[in-house]
Amino acid sequence: MIELKNVNKIYNVNGNIINACKNINLKIEKNDIYGIMGLSGAGKSTLLRTLNLLETPTSGSIIVNGEDITLFGKEKLREYRKKTGMIFQHFNLLESRDVRGNIAFALEVAGWKNKKDINKRVDELLSLVELEDKGDFYPVQLSGGQKQRVGIARALANSPDILLSDEATSALDPKTTKSILDLLRNIQKQLGLTIILITHQMEVIKAACNKAAILEKGEVIEDGSVEEIFSNPKSSIAKEFVSHMVHEEVEEIDYIKREGKKIIKVSYLGEKSKRPFISYLIKEFHIDISIISGSIDKLTSTNVGHLILELDGEESMQNKSIEWLIKNNLGVEVIFNG
């Protein structure tokens, strides 16, 4: 549905060249909740803003439903923007208008005139974001989560196909974050939206997205299904984000390293977690296995489990065990070779 081809964005600030987006190639399909993750300054906001042409790419094309939006004239761009809603970290509400007024604003801008029609649409949107009882509240009277619900209602006012979210939960506490992400997932399903959300938090990707890309210094360094990224992260930044090792585990691993034993990390998806592969390896290959740590990531579609194991016993049998794990589609990373 959306394809970015070799998108570059270069800023020139007093002769300083900043390459905020470098040769970005991404494919986003209808109904995706596509996460774009990266540290601060990675180019996430810039990339997102090219998708509604708040930023014009310096080069490259952005194909949406078969048309290159960078070639749109004024009128087509206006129509396209109506169908592309956006929500923000700091909500961007009008303080002088109540909740109804904030939502109605999006309709007025789009040319709605009839009061009755506007009221009816505002009612629908209020119920969509579960704020039926807050219509005459002003932004200062709302919690962060409620403000973001208003932001979402406003973004959806003109029935967009695409919703862009720029760190929409970054100013919220974990519990409110979860409720907003749940809401986004629900409205995605209900309205058949395509959502692109950027975040610096892996937790958000985990809780909301089916696909994701990781951005570093303006470049996509990894992309794929969220399951893939969590079960088999390739880039060091993804590994770092996905790693669950806490201080004690790192110490434990350092200790084992001194003893010279092999340490591996095994990752497995959903159903495979039910297969008793550890006892199988012990029986089949006659090695000893100690579990150093284990954790499970709950993703939207499945779970990804991670186990850090210490292997002991005959070297060739240890290697055979690792081969067996790989053959059986478990992710294996040798953390220390012993």
Ligand X SMILES: Nc1ncnc2c1ncn2[C@@H]1O[C@H](COP(=O)(O)OP(=O)(O)O)[C@@H](O)[C@H]1O
Q: Return residues touching Mg ion (CB under 5 A).
A: 45
**Binding partner selected for residue 20 from Mg ion, ligand X, none, CB under the kind-specific 5 to 8 Å limit:** ligand X
- b/e per residue 245-259 (b: at least 16 CB within 10 A): beeeeeebbeebeee
Cβ 200 to ligand X shortest distance, Å:
7
The amino acid sitting at 239 is K
Cβ 55 to Mg ion shortest distance, Å:
12
Cβ 20 to ligand X shortest distance, Å:
3
Exposed, middle or buried, 333 (CB in 10 Å: 0-12/13-18/19+)? middle
Does 190 contact ligand X by CB under 6 A?
Answer: no
The residues, ordered by sequence, that sit 6+ positions from 81 with a Cβ below 8 Å of its Cβ are 52, 53
- Of 45 and 50, CB closest to Mg ion: 45
**Binding partner selected for residue 4 from ligand X, Mg ion, none, CB under the kind-specific 5 to 8 Å limit:** none
Instruction: Give every strand in the sheet of 303-312, ordered side by side.
Output: 288-298, 303-312, 262-269, 331-336
Of the candidate spans 42-50, 102-110, 143-151, 177-185, the one that interacts with ligand X by CB under 6 A turns out to be 42-50
**Binding partner selected for residue 155 from ligand X, Mg ion, none, CB under the kind-specific 5 to 8 Å limit:** none
The number of beta carbons lying within 10 Å of the beta carbon of residue 192 is: 10
Cβ 237 to ligand X shortest distance, Å:
13
Which pair of tokens denotes residue 304? 């990804």
Contact residue for ligand X among 6, 11, 78, 286 (CB under 6 A): 11
Contact residue for ligand X among 43, 57, 151, 160 (CB under 6 A): 43
Exposed, middle or buried, 137 (CB in 10 Å: 0-12/13-18/19+)? middle
Does 17 contact ligand X by CB under 6 A?
Answer: no
Which pair of tokens denotes residue 76? 């087509």
- Which residues here bind ligand X, judged by CB under 6 A? 11, 13, 18, 20, 38, 40-46
